[in-house]
Structures are given as structure tokens and as C-alpha cells.
Chains A and B, each alone.
Chain A
Amino acid sequence: MARTGILIETENGAVKDTSLGVMTAAKGQEIIALVTDGDPAGLKDKLAEFGAAKIVKLAASGGDITAGPDLLAGALAAAVKEYDLTALLGTASVAGKDLFARLAALMDLPLVSDCVALDVEGKTAKKSHFSGKTFATLKVDAAVLLATVRPNAIEAEPAPAAGETAEFTADVADPGKVVIKEVKKGDADKIDLTEAPIIITGGRAIKAAENYKMLEACAAKIGAAVGASRAAVDAGYAPHSMQVGQTGKTVSPRLYIACGVSGAVQHFAGMKTSKVIVAINEDKDAPIFAKCDYGIVGDIFDVVPVLTEKL
């Protein structure tokens, strides 16, 4: 059995669901869960339930491993050697994509980013090409497979394993090239769009920034994040960080509810791989109805409040 490392992401001391999906992508392998922050003992039950044979708290001799991306990349490279990994997988979150690209450059190994399906044994991955219009199947010819998995693209399945805990301190220091001067906190209560299991998006039809409150109220009831179309962002109703689509975020939630979105290809480029897509639009001929799963013809200002109430 080959050994696969999984870089675990946590939030408020708990394993993110997206990381559990990444573990499932490596099912059948001996899984080493690599934890960089938090207490591994507190994460143990969950990680063992989803397949971790070993849970390793990763540290670096050169300082706080979470302080800079190059130090963390250096420590991961050391862990690949220490545990003789034939694959290392992570989440294609903003941080995960950045980190794995640094790691791939550092180790001069191929990297497949943002995969939607993965065959770890066969070192083959499927990912989006051409802004979500095609899937490419890529085979990696290297000793170690590095890949990030699109959040929520692979559903987590329990696969109980031993979950032994260990610690590993890599003998690496930060090269000091990239210095984080400041972190500007966004809205801490907001669920990250790229990783949200459910997303409710308001398009141009939202008409004003304050009307997003209507979507937020609905989102709050089901643990959803709120997104926007480019037309809504360009009109100043929402910040760019909320934009879904080719020039915004790529998302793959299990449920995507588009409110007053016409269904442009560039919008679909960012959300096409969602499991279920629902559209609410007042125009029965809106193009989005031709490419989603369920449709409601209606005014979002009539439908959404009723939805919020009934959820």
C-alpha cells in the first residue's frame, strides 16, 4: 500500500469538511494526515473516522510554521521525504493553491491543481480546462504526485483507520523572501465562498447592495455563503471577493441557488461543477433554465423571503 499525505485544513479547531473529501480521494492508500495548526488530539476522532492511519503534527525548527507560505512549503517537502510519500494532496482553497504551487516549485515536481476526480494509485487526475468548458485527464509521470482537489468536488465517506498521532519537526527555516506585514480581517462571520457547501447568488436583479441582506438571511438558515454575478459586482452591489465565475471564484457546492442571474457562460465557468443548481428568474426564457437542474419562474423579491421562512 502506497502512502499518501493529506494536508489538513482546520477552522475553529475542527477539521474542515473539504479536507475530509480530500482524504476520500485517496481511499485505499495508507493516509498520513498532516496537521499544521491546532491540537492533533482534538482532531484525532474525525481524522481516524475518515481514513487517517497516522496524524502528524508538523512543525519547523525555523519558527512558527503558519507564519509564512515558503516555510510551510519547506516543511511539507521535508515531510514528503520523512514519510516516503508517493502522493501529497490538499484542498484547492486560496491558501492551498498557493502553498502547493510553492511546494511544486521547491521540489521541482509536477502539480495538478483543482482536480475534480483523482486516481492516486494511477497518478491520474481530472480537472477543468478552458474555463469550465472541458475536463482534461492528466497523467503524472513522477515519483510523487502533488495535487489539490476542488472543495466539495469529492464527497467525504467514512473509512475508519488507526489514527495514531505523531509529531514531526522539519529542519527548515523561512527563506525570508516573502514577508507578511499585515492581515486585514474581512467579515469573520462569513463562510468562505470557495469552500461553502451551499451558495446563494444574487445577480444584477438584486438592484442594490442592501438587498443582499435578503439573501444573507436565507443563507444564514442553511449555512450557505452568498455570491454575486459580475454584473452585480460591476454595478457596485457587491465586492469582487463575492464574484462567482471566470474572473471571480470557482465554486463547486452541493447546492447552488442563482437568484436573478441570466446564466452567461462566464458565470457558469465558475459554478458548473456544483452538484445541484437551482435558478429563480422572472423571465421564463432566461438562458439559465436551459442549463440548471430546477427552475422557478418568479420575482426573487417574492420567492426568496418565502424560501427563507420555510427553510
Chain B
Amino acid sequence: MKICVCVKHVPDTAATIKIEGDAGFKDSEIKFVVNPYDEYGIEEAVKLVEKNGGEVVIVTVGKPEADATIRSGLAMGAERGILVTTDGQFLDATLTAKALKAAMEKDGLPDLIFTGKGSVDTEAFQTQYRLAGYLGLPVVNEVSKLTVDSGKAVAELEVGGGDKQVIEMNLPCVIGATKGLNEPRYPKFPDIMKAKKKKIDQMSLADLGIDAATGAVILEKLEPVPERSGAKMIEGSVEDQVTELIRVLKEDEKVL
């Protein structure tokens, strides 16, 4: 069984984002990591291959520095990687999906594709659907439980209000992974050393016939989310504090 895991190279969520110009950010000083949700996809893929045989291929569309992020996935047990290089961090989701499709077609289409449920940088929640659309495959997102057996995948996902759906699809299909699916492993030192020798194929967007300038979504501006300047502290006895809080929320803020 061949499984592709789409992995994005994103700033660590603990990193401070310093905005540069109108719509850029200073990426040289911050740490980049595997998009946290993609780790659930890598773990699930590696576990399936450990059980059934086959190979796990990490596919990334990103800057050349994303090589290090692919290595993290290889250290978790993936066999090899494919890096489609771009100039910047932001690429229209339609182009990312086209690049992922083209890279997979070139390498040979897999039996199963994992992505994360979304990426923590652009929070756009759509690449997996577009990839599935371009490949004509079924897709489900936010999967927290999965069984793959005799050509079928059965996925469980939360659909709001605590309700869960159980969905069946034929393979190949696209699965957007989220927390709950598994506990991603921490690679051990020998795995990290071994990952350094694994193969990563590199190609550019242009090599796949994709023009980065054709995106239809333009990032015009990036600005910090305004921070609150600190709480107004409500003092007094518990009775007094609560009475004042309710008054403020009702009369001043009108939220109660």
C-alpha cells in the first residue's frame, strides 16, 4: 500500500509573528515545524504501513527550507519525500492542490492520502477538498478515528454539538486528520539520523507547469490581532465582585 501524506511547513504556534511591509512577515528568526494536524496523518500512515506493508511518502509544497520539515516526517517513519518548491509562504490553495496532484501523478498515484484538518498558518481549511476534487476522490475532514480494510476506509468525525458521523468510502480517498486519531510518536535519535539519509525529490512549481502568479486570492494586508490592554479588576468580597460583574456585563457591555 502506498500512502501519501501532505505536510505543510508552518511557523511554530509559539513563535511571535513580526509583520514586514503590508502583507509579509519576518520568517528568518522563527522556528518552522510540521503543521501540527499533519502529524496525526503521518502517524496514521506509518502505523498502516507497519501493519500492511507498503511505503509512506511525504509530499510538501513550500519554500526550500521545508526540507527540514519533511525530514521530521521521515524521522517518524516515512520512507521518502517530495518537495515542490515555492518562493513564499503563501500560495493560493487551488495552486497548492494542483501542485500536490501533479507531484503525486508524477510519482504514481497512492492508495490513500492524508492531510491535516487545516494548517495553522493560513487556517484556510480547503486544500484537502480541492486535491480530492482534482483527483476525483472522496474526501472527509476532521477524522478522529479510522479503519482501513479490504479497499474501504471507515472514518469517524465530529459534526458539531458532540454528534459524530461514521462515513464509508472506497480507496483511494483523502482523509483530513485531527487530534484523537492517534498519538504522534516522538522520533528517537537513531530515527533522526536515519532520516538524514532518506531521499527527497525536489521540483519547482514551474517544473510541474504551475504558474504561482495565477492565484485568485490576493493577500492584501497582514496585521496583528489587537491585544487587550489588561483586565479591569473587580475587587471586594465574592458577593460584591459577582454583583458588580453582572452589572457591568448587563449595563455597560450589554452581553447578558
Q: Which residue of B lies closest to A302 (CB)?
A: B238
Stretch of B53-61, B62-70, B138-146, B195-203 lying at the A interface = B138-146
- Whether B163 pairs with A184 at a CB distance below 8 angstroms is yes
Given that A183-B165, A190-B161 are known contacts, is A134 also in contact with B232, CB under 8 Å in the complex? no
Name the A residues within 8 Å of B241 (CB-CB).
Answer: 296, 298, 303
User: Does any Cβ of A come within 8 Å of B190's Cβ?
Assistant: no
Instruction: Check A113 against B125 for contact (C-beta < 8 Å).
Output: yes
- Looking at the assembled complex, report how far the CB atom of A273 sits from the nearest CB atom of chain B, in whole angstroms: 7
Residue contact A276 to B217, C-beta cutoff 8 Å: no
Cβ of A177 and Cβ of B138 under 8 Å apart?
A: yes
Q: How many pairs, one residue from A and one from B, have CB atoms within 8 Å of each other in the complex?
A: 240
Query: B193 at the A/B interface (Cβ < 8 Å)?
Result: no
Whether A297 sits at the interface, judged by CB under 8 Å, is yes
Q: How far apart are the CA atoms of A130 and B180 in the complex, in Å?
A: 22
Nearest Cβ in chain A — how far from B224, in angstroms? 6
Contact assessment for A141 and B126 in the assembled complex, using a CB-CB cutoff below 8 Å: no
For chain B residues 210-256, which have a beta carbon within 8 Å of chain A?
216-225, 227-228, 230-234, 238-239, 241-243, 245-246, 248-249, 253, 255-256
Stretch at the interface among B41-49, B72-80, B105-113, B116-124: B116-124
Q: For A182, what are the chain B residues with a Cβ–Cβ distance below 8 Å?
A: 165-166
| Chain A residue with Cβ nearest B246 | A310
- Determine if B204 is an interface residue (Cβ-Cβ < 8 Å): no
| CB pair A294 B234 closer than 8 Å | yes
Q: Which residue of A lies closest to B254 (CB)?
A: A254
Picked from B121, B168, B218, the residue with its CB within 8 Å of the CB of A141 is: B218
Q: A98-B141, A129-B121, A247-B179 are in contact. Are A183 and B167 (CB under 8 A)?
A: no
Please name all residues of chain A whose beta carbon is closer than 8 Å to the beta carbon of B165 when the two chains form the complex. 180, 182-184
**B245 proximity list for chain A (CB < 8 A):** 278, 294, 296, 307
Highest count of chain B CB atoms <10 Å: which of A133, A179, A298: A133
Contact in complex: B160, A93 (CB < 8 Å): yes
| Inter-subunit contact B238/A105 (CB<8 Å) | no
How many whole Å from A24's CB to the nearest CB in chain B? 17
How far is A181 from B140 in the complex, measured between Cα atoms in Å? 13
Is there contact, CB below 8 Å, between A292 and B228? Answer: yes
- In angstroms, Cα B144 to Cα A77, docked, is 29
Per-residue CB contact flags for chain B residues 18-58 toward chain A (1 = under 8 Å, else 0) read 01000101000000000010000000000000000000000
A19 → chain B closest CB, angstroms: 14
Contact B124 A184 (CB under 8 A): no
> Which residues 63-83 of A have a CB within 8 angstroms of B?
none
A87 at the interface (CB under 8 A from B): no
Q: Which residue of A lies closest to B130 (CB)?
A: A105
- Residue of B162, B218, B232 touching A295 (CB-CB under 8 A): B232
Q: In the complex, A217→B160 CA distance in Å? A: 22
Q: Check A102–B228 contact: CB distance below 8 A.
A: no
Minimal Cβ-Cβ distance residue in B for A190: B162
What's the nearest-Cβ distance from chain B to residue A187, in Å?
6
- Contact (Cβ within 8 A) B230 A289: yes
Contacting residue for B129 out of A102, A180, A292, CB 8 A: A102
The 9 closest A-B pairs by CB, nearest first: A186-B162, A105-B133, A295-B231, A177-B138, A94-B160, A101-B129, A137-B221, A182-B166, A184-B164
Q: List 18 additional contacts besides A133-B225, A137-B219, A276-B253; criterion CB under 8 Å.
A: A97-B125, A104-B126, A104-B129, A108-B94, A109-B216, A110-B93, A112-B124, A129-B121, A130-B121, A140-B218, A182-B165, A198-B256, A275-B253, A291-B231, A292-B228, A293-B232, A303-B241, A311-B256
Residues of B within 8 A of A (CB): 11, 13-14, 16-17, 19, 23, 25, 36, 92-94, 120-126, 128-130, 132-134, 137-142, 144, 154, 156, 158-170, 173, 179-180, 216-225, 227-228, 230-234, 238-239, 241-243, 245-246, 248-249, 253, 255-256
22 residue pairs of the A-B complex, CB under 8 angstroms, read A95-B159, A95-B160, A101-B141, A102-B133, A104-B129, A104-B130, A111-B124, A136-B221, A138-B218, A179-B167, A186-B162, A191-B161, A240-B144, A241-B158, A291-B231, A292-B228, A292-B231, A293-B232, A293-B253, A296-B241, A303-B241, A306-B239
